[in-house]
Amino acid sequence: MKSGYKSDRIKRRKSRLFKNLIILAVILTAIAAVSIISYNVIYSRLHSEYSENALYDNWNLKTTEGFKKTYEISDVLIQKNPLNNTARTFRGYSAFMLAESEPDYNLSKNYLNEAIANLRIALIGCSRETYPQVCYMLGKAYYYRDKAASYNFYADLTVKYLNEALDYGFSAPDIPHLLGLSYDALGETDKSIAALTKALINNETDTLLYDIGRQYFKNKQGMTARQYLARVIHISKNDELIEKSRLLLGQIYINEGEYQSAENEFNSILEKNENSADAHYELGVLYEKLGDYVKARYEWRQCRKIQVNHPGATKKLLEARK
């Protein structure tokens, strides 16, 4: 009896142990399966987050956050493969867009430098289909690099790459305007006028009208310049642009002997902005033309009170002492 009872107990223990082992095996298998699935999901997400598809997805958001993410992803892809043309292209594109929205001059300059460097590399190995667009973006990057620093070191490269984009059939509404301003920086006034006039066909803006008027003024075509500058004054709500237009108009009137009209333009500026150093300076030039040297010197002194280092007024006052 006792031996039979012990035998049953042993069998029951073995049975429970076996069941527990099965349960443990099932639990361990489940844990392993969950771990593998989780790993695959996480790996897949990380992989897709830093993929070329992710570049397109973030770029197409057309938001600052999207451009920042594109900039970040492209850097990861370039570190993996420095010759990844897609990553280089999007690195350049996103750097340019971030430069446009960056208020800090140094950061904006760095973004533009990076845009130029990456787009130049991208240009070497890009497809025929993307080549003209990369040229366009590179030309724009050079233009804004010059604009940010207020010099014209890259105007020739702006012209080169924008024209290259046009030669390959690419078009964008801002190309004629950018070309016009770049030709101006290179001293090619006729080409500048032609490009700016073409831009005007697409979109009449006060800035564009002023730029065309300024080019005609430089080309000694005062009558034509007057038409564009008068149009700026009529339609613009930008006080600074109106002031610049009146200054040019006043200079044209002086050159054409219409002294009263010139005085009216300069006084119109001072009525709105009594601290316009240039308006005081030009009034001085006008009074000098009329032989009223007392008034002329007074206006130049007023000019220097506002802008101590004004080159024109400083020169005129030094000459007056001789």
- The torsion angles phi and psi of 138, rounded to 5 degrees, stand at -70, -40
**Pair of tokens at residue 9:** 């107990």
pLDDT (tens digit, 0 to 9) for every residue of the chain, 322 residues total? Answer: 445 545 555 555 556 666 666 676 667 776 766 666 555 445 444 446 788 899 999 999 999 999 999 999 999 999 999 999 999 999 999 999 999 999 999 999 999 999 999 999 999 999 999 999 999 999 999 999 998 776 778 999 999 999 999 999 999 999 999 999 999 999 999 999 999 999 999 889 999 999 999 999 999 999 999 999 999 999 999 999 999 999 999 999 999 999 999 999 999 999 999 999 999 999 999 999 999 999 999 999 999 999 999 999 999 999 888 6
**Pair of tokens at residue 209:** 């009208």
315/194 Cα distance (integer angstroms): 35
Radius of gyration of the chain (CA): 35
Neighbours of 126 (CB within 10 A): 19
Q: Which amino acid is at 255?
A: N
Give per-residue pLDDT as tens, 61-116: 999 999 999 999 999 999 999 999 999 999 999 999 999 999 999 999 999 999 99
In whole angstroms, how far apart are CA 92 and each of 87, 89, 100, 105, 133?
A: 9, 5, 13, 18, 12
Which residues in 149-178 are b (16+ Cβ under 10 Å) and which e?
A: eeebebbebbbbbbebbbeeebebeebbbb
206/233 Cα distance (integer angstroms): 8
CATH number of 49-126: 1.25.40
CA proximity to 245, closest of 255, 254, 236? 236
How much is the pLDDT for 71? 97
Residues, the chain: 322
How much is the pLDDT for 221? 97
87/318 Cα distance (integer angstroms): 58
Neighbours of 197 (CB within 10 A): 14
Q: CA end-to-end span of the chain, whole Å?
A: 140
User: What's the distance, CA 66 to chain centroid?
Assistant: 16
CA proximity to 251, closest of 220, 225, 282? 282
How much is the pLDDT for 4? 54
232/115 Cα distance (integer angstroms): 34
How much is the pLDDT for 43? 45
Vertex 196, ends 207 and 142: CA angle to 5°?
85
What pTM value is reported for the model?
0.79
**Pair of tokens at residue 158:** 């702006």
How much is the pLDDT for 14? 55
How much is the pLDDT for 16? 63
